[in-house]
A = this chain, B = another copy of it.
């Protein structure tokens, strides 16, 4: 019964699939592999959404061997698959879901084929090896361990995510709740995908078995995959179109960079760049490779400055493609108490400051320099970025912009220091308990200062979004509010304490 259903489906689907491709456009038409046709046979009706997404993708229209014939700057791939058979067909279901099944803990037998559920950067590296290697050096690919193996962040996370109950006058925290972690921090940082046996299901095509994957679904940037690789290309290039257009829109970045801790998307929206992009985006070409400044766009999105290969009209490279992102970034501005030069290694959880904390600065803001890039490297990265700025702005404009940013880093670090000095006094005088730095109201006011207000102000300056995100929208106004509160709180407690002492 199951086999007949599959067979009928294949017949039906083949004709449907052929139809849908004859109406395709000028792109070269490549053959779909027999295996992928079998997949589509059932999944076209089971999962029409993703099948159609894929049909609209470049993957469905061109084989690696054809794609590889493009001129160097126009290439969207950087390596050829080892298996020659793969290179001659379109990049379909089977081609991606069967690549390295021996390495995949989520591999399973499915209607005569061995496939795996999760496609990983290691799988994508068959054709996109350069990008995968760059991404390995990106902080993002290490986002899981950078959070989960950093004791400072763990103690913050435990006060936010763990189940909390109130008993006999105080709060009690549960153990790590994996479901909460997956819904909260790891939504962006990436979960750890672990196969916990299999489950069986009655389907339209008979009873079938599937791996049961804990931590699934997730598309976080540092996901720990069942093949041991890190990250998820679909964070930015969503399945199953794997659209370069989506990845180049600010919408792709918004998913993780919108909250008060990283308001990059919000800042962009109210920057001059965002204003022009939003009002004119219908006329830009966000799919061209290379991405030609002037011809394809005259305003940058996030990807323009941080990722994409940019050339001018005569093919001169303005910026090389990078999936490392911080290639063009001299300082780390957010997620940390003090801004500081970028870490040398993407594994920030391995950084240790003088006090033994896994932070890149000491509590007074001085950097843990041996873990960080030096001034020369900082300048080199700034210059890479400035190359892009200077295609629309005078060097005077650009240099003054960076001078402002440098000063904003200094002043926001100074404000964080003031907050830290007050909190340190509060701890020293015993009005709060620093056994966990994050589980009292007054400690959270200090966290707000750096995690939201100092960080937001820096992002605002970095992206020339200035104005409100540096002032009234979780910026310097709120930062100084919190400073005033911290001092008032300290004084109130000193006042109470001095009364107690007097009594004695």
- Which residues of chain A have a CB within 8 Å of any CB of chain B? 16, 45-53, 56, 117, 159-161, 163-166, 170-171, 177, 179-180, 182-185, 187-188, 199, 201, 210, 212-213, 216-217, 219, 238, 241, 243, 245-246, 249, 251-252, 254-256, 258-261, 269-272, 274-276, 278-280, 282-283, 293-295, 298-299, 312-314, 390-397, 400-401, 403-404, 407-408, 411, 414-415, 417-418, 421-422, 439-442, 444, 451-452, 460-461, 464, 466-473, 475-477, 480-481, 483-485, 487-488, 495-496
Contacts and interface: CB of A to CB of B under 8 A. Distances in A.
Contacts of A471: 160, 184-185, 259
Given A49-B298, A279-B246, A217 B400 contact: yes
B440 A470 contact: no
Nearest to A211: B396
A390 B46 CA distance: 8
A270 B56 CA distance: 23
Contacts of A407: 177, 179-180, 183
Nearest to A389: B49
Contacts of A51: 294
Given A49-B294, A50-B298, A217-B401, 15 more contacts: A16-B313, A164-B414, A164-B418, A179-B407, A184-B466, A187-B470, A212-B396, A241-B276, A243-B276, A245-B280, A251-B275, A258-B269, A258-B270, A260-B472, A441-B481
Given A165-B418, A397-B217, A407-B177, A246 B275 contact: yes
A470 B183 contact: yes
A252 B271 CA distance: 10
A392 B47 contact: yes
B414 A163 contact: yes
Given A48-B391, A259-B471, A483 B201 contact: no
Given A275-B238, A408-B180, A393 B217 contact: yes
Contact of A213 (B255, B396, B440, B477): B396
Contacts of A411: 163, 177, 180
A271 B183 CA distance: 12
Contacts of A117: 394, 396
A85 B470 CA distance: 45
Given A164-B414, A280-B243, A293-B49, A184 B467 contact: yes
Contacts of A243: 276, 279-280
Given A183-B466, A275-B238, A275-B252, A487 B170 contact: yes
B275 A254 contact: yes
B260 A422 contact: no
B280 A246 contact: yes
A484 to B, nearest CB: 4
B418 A171 contact: yes
Contacts of A283: 56
Nearest to A392: B49
A188 B444 CA distance: 31
B187 A466 contact: yes
Contacts of A280: 241, 243, 245-246
A329 to B, nearest CB: 19
B279 A216 contact: no
Contact of A298 (B52, B255, B294, B397): B52
Contacts of A452: 472
Contact of A184 (B187, B390, B400, B470): B470
Contacts of A390: 46-47
A66 B246 CA distance: 41
Nearest to A254: B270
A439 to B, nearest CB: 7
8 contacts: A165-B418, A166-B483, A171-B418, A183-B408, A183-B466, A184-B475, A451-B472, A495-B496
A461 B181 CA distance: 11
A363 B203 CA distance: 44
Given A164-B483, A254-B275, A488 B441 contact: yes
B50 A392 contact: yes
A411 B460 CA distance: 35
A171 B487 contact: yes
A261 to B, nearest CB: 5
Contacts of A16: 313
Tell which of A47, A417, A452, A496 has the most Cβ of chain B within 10 Å: A47
Contacts of A295: 52
